[in-house]
């Protein structure tokens, strides 16, 4: 089972884009559960957004995409929890590649 994602500890890989922001970069989550924790950090849930960062499209303006894939049956605050390999909405691809914890999983 995949590891659960945590707020501010979630590293993501940004897709290459056609404009000046075509280098892959590491981003973090900005929002997470205020009271459901994994190793002391709130878990990331559907709808929680990333910290603002440059988008690979739209002339590299900032965006803060929301998590849009998660566990089908594990919830925090009645909202599905994010896991390693889940994604944030575009433009570009935002795949959770590092969750900075190694003990808590969800299917």
At residue 4, the pLDDT reads 94
Q: What gap in Å lies between CA 60 and CA 43, rounded to an integer?
A: 29
Closest CA to 9 of 40, 53, 47: 40
- List pLDDT tens digits, range 26-71: 777 878 999 999 999 999 999 998 887 766 666 667 778 889 999 9
Q: Residues 96, 85: contact at Cβ < 8 Å?
A: yes
For residue 9, pLDDT over 70 is answered with no
Peptide bond into 74 cis (omega under 30): no
Q: Residues 58, 94: contact at Cβ < 8 Å?
A: no
- Of residues 49 and 20, more confidence is placed in 49
For residue 20, pLDDT over 50 is answered with no
What is the rounded end-to-end Cα distance, in angstroms, of the chain?
5
At residue 47, the pLDDT reads 94
């Amino acid at each position: 089972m995949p590891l659960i994602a945590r707020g501010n500890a979630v590293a993501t890989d940004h897709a290459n884009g056609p404009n000046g922001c075509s280098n892959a970069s590491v981003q973090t989550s900005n929002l997470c559960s205020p009271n459901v924790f994994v190793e002391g950090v709130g878990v990331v849930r559907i709808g929680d957004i990333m910290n603002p960062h440059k988008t690979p499209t739209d002339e590299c303006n900032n965006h803060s995409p929301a998590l849009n894939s998660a566990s089908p049956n594990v919830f925090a605050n009645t909202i599905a929890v994010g896991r390693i390999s889940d994604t944030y909405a575009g433009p570009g691809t935002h795949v959770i590649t590092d969750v900075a914890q190694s003990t808590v999983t969800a299917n």
